[in-house]
Structure 1
Amino acid sequence: MKKIPYQDSKKILSYFDLSDEAKELVSDALPPIEVIQVLQKAALNIDLTTFIAHALPMRESIWWATLATGLRHDDLTQAENSVVAASANWVKQPNEAMRREIEKSIVPLANESAAKWVGQAVFWSGQGSIAPAENPVVMPADFLHAKAVAGAINTAAALPEWSGYKGYYKKVFNMALDIADGGSGKLTEEAS
């Protein structure tokens, strides 16, 4: 995997806590692809999403969140879809003005909004201060963006409630593997 070049998963797993069930199945000595395969086989989707969100480089991780959340396009409001689109544009051409615009646009969105978490990932990307613009610079904690990415994807899988979450996870994990291999993550229906 070009974008996840680790020999083992120790560094990735140091950034977050797996569920107890996942801890019984994986070890930090396993290569990332094996951790992904084990978690996917066990259908530990939340753990797998969190693992991939932390394993991918920041921009690729946020790109994945925009694509995954975009799968629920019809269930999102116009404002939510605008945040997802703006976040995708930011990934392509990151700039501070757009990052601050996204910050403003997510304020009215509910915490249960997957789109809000996509926008939060952009804001927490580490590409600028998370303090108000007129205040001294405060940088986000390392990998805070990845927590928001995982939150966005796992929220999109669950809310609004639907019966398609298993197929959704299958598609988003295929997207992630494509991104990890250097692809765009935009898979055709046949490939997903």
Structure 2
Amino acid sequence: MELDLTDMRKLPSEPYTRVMARVGVKLSTKLDLPASATVEEALQRLSDLDEPYDFLHLLAMALPTREAVWWACLAAGDLMQDPDLSATPSMIAAKGWVFNPDDQHRAAAQTAFEGADPNDNTRFCAMAAFYGDGTLGMGDLSREAAPPAAVSSAVLAQVMLTLGQSPHGLDSDLDLAIRRVIDIARGGNGRVSRGLLTEDQPDEQEMT
């Protein structure tokens, strides 16, 4: 994969190994990098090795929570062919939490996720939003930490469910997912077209 990985200002400055240790997850690909290597350096190595799935996995762990949930929302929108992100209660609730990450919207995400049909393949974006503040819930549960990989795993699941589901095929879906998350990591809104980033500059106000 030949990708432009510059100016990914939403990513943490800490080493990629610390990001993975905090989440408690390892990549499938063994990277011959020093422990002090940055997330960007790890992503570049994964790109050089043509390991797109671990590339997506690392970004699911490294992105700030709201940006990661937004990525999941857009993936669900692809799945449902719904750019307005309103096709299911899970999509509506997760989008609402991204714009307003308060207890009210978190409760809506919990209701949507827990009430979703098992065949609702958009439920993972609501799951990611529900665990977005890092705890098991509200009230007394707010004192209990959520599993450290809860958000990143839900985000990755939502993205992976989208791959290969469009008429464009797996390769095109994978390319879109990669270009989208790079745009989000740069501070963009992830609204990119297939094959290239959109000419419109990202609008960070979409998540502020």
- Counterpart-to-counterpart distance in 2, 1:26 and 1:112: 40
Shift of 1:26: 5.2
Name the CA shift for 1:108/1:42 in 2 (closer, same or farther; >3 Å).
farther
2:38 aligned residue (15, 25, 31)? 31
Match of 2:161 among 141, 155, 167: 155
1:65 to 67, 72, 76: 72
Residues 96 and 128, structure 1, Cα contact 8 Å, conserved in 2: no
Instruction: Describe the SS at the equivalent of 1:37.
Output: helix
Corresponding residue of 1:103 = 110
- Structure 1 unaligned segments of length 5 or more: list them: none
Aligned to 2:100: 93
**Alignment identity in percent?**
21
Counterpart position of 1:18: 27
Between Structure 1 and Structure 2, how many residues are aligned?
A: 185
Question: How far off is 1:93 after superposition?
Answer: 1.0
Report the counterpart of residue 54 of structure 2 in structure 1.
47
Matched AA of 1:172: A
Counterpart for residue 11 of structure 2: 4
Tell me the residue number matched to 2:184: 179
- Contact in 2 for aligned 1:80/1:116 (Cα 8 Å): no
Structure 1 CA distance for aligned equivalents of residues 89 and 115 of structure 2:
13
Is contact 1:114-1:153 (8 Å) kept?
A: no
* Secondary structure, counterpart of 1:18 in structure 2: coil
Superposition RMSD on alpha carbons, in Å? 2.9
Query: Normalized per residue, which structure has more helix?
Result: 1
3-12 vs 40-49, which moves further = 40-49
Amino acid at match of 1:123: F
Structure 2 CA distance for aligned equivalents of residues 172 and 58 of structure 1: 17
TM-score, with length taken from structure 2 = 0.74
Which residue of structure 2 aligns with residue 141 of structure 1?
147
Compared CA separation, residues 113 and 154, structure 1 to 2 (3 A): farther
Q: For the Cα contact (< 8 Å) 2:79–2:166, is it kept in 1? A: no
For 1:144 and 1:29, the matched residues in 2 are separated by 25
TM-score, normalised via structure 1 length: 0.79
User: Highest relative contact order (Cα 8 Å, sep 6+), 1 or 2?
Assistant: 1
1:172 Cα deviation after fit? 1.5
Q: Please give the secondary structure, in 2, of the residue aligned with 1:36.
A: helix
| Cα pair distance change 1:174/1:25, threshold 3 Å | farther
Contiguous gaps of at least 5 residues in structure 2:
1-7, 199-208
Which one-letter code corresponds to 2:182 in the other structure? L
1:60–1:111 CA distance, 2 compared to 1 (3 A): same
CA deviation after TM superposition for structure 1 residue 7, in Å: 5.4
Distance 2:32 2:88 in 1: 37
- Per-residue deviation, 1:66: 0.9
Paired residue type of 1:86: A
Q: 1:31 to 1:111 in 2, by over 3 A?
A: farther
What do residues 68-118 of structure 1 show as CA deviations (whole Å, max 9, x unaligned)? 22111239xx99633123211210111212211221222343556441111
In structure 1, what is the Cα distance between the partners aligned to 2:38 and 2:56? 16
3-state DSSP of counterpart to 2:163: helix
